[in-house]
């Protein structure tokens, strides 16, 4: 099944995901300017740095997972998808998914307070990120198991 996928196309898709998110991370700093009118209310001012910290703490394992996915696709294109290096790359993606989920579970109280003050769908966004992390964890665990034990 893995040989039917085009690794080059998947690498392009990863870059299509990574580049806009990196731009949002860089541009997002201006949104969190303490002098911005958005953060002028005292309730929002208290949430500024916890929300920003949580977002960027979640991005670190996310970009590391994208890097590991690119490495795995490189192994796939060289027909080394079942190698120990490829299995380790998938395992690192699995741990990154857990790390992202933990960061956003810890971020949920701040997102709840943000939602209460700003009427933003912050809890829903956090829940989608946690659910997405859980799906990536399950998929990467299954892929890792199938790469390790292809006959089972």
User: For the segment 93-120, what is each residue's pLDDT rounded down to a tens digit?
Assistant: 999 999 999 999 999 999 888 888 877 7
Name the token pair of 68.
């590991």
Residue 3's CB: how many other CB atoms inside 10 A? 8
pTM for this prediction: 0.84
- Among 19-23, 45-49, 118-122, the range of highest mean pLDDT: 19-23
Q: What is the mean pLDDT of the chain?
A: 87
CB environment 95-134: b (16+ within 10 A), e (fewer):
ebbebbbebbeebbebbebbbeeeeeebeeebeebbeebe
| Confidence bin at 29 (pLDDT 50/70/90) | low
């Amino acid at each position: 099944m893995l040989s039917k996928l085009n690794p080059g196309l998947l690498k392009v898709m990863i870059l299509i995901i990574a580049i806009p998110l990196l731009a949002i991370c860089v541009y997002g700093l201006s949104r969190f300017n303490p002098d911005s009118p958005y953060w002028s209310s005292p309730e929002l001012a208290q949430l500024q740095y916890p929300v920003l910290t949580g977002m960027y703490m979640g991005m670190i394992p996310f970009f590391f997972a994208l890097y590991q996915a690119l490495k795995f696709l490189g192994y796939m294109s060289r027909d080394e998808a079942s190698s120990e290096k490829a299995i380790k790359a998938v395992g690192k993606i699995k741990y990154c998914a857990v790390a992202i989920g933990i960061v956003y579970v810890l971020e949920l109280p701040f997102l709840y307070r943000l939602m209460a003050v700003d009427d933003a769908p912050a809890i829903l966004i956090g829940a989608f990120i946690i659910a997405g992390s859980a799906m990536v964890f399950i998929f990467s665990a299954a892929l890792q198991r199938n790469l390790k034990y292809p006959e089972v």
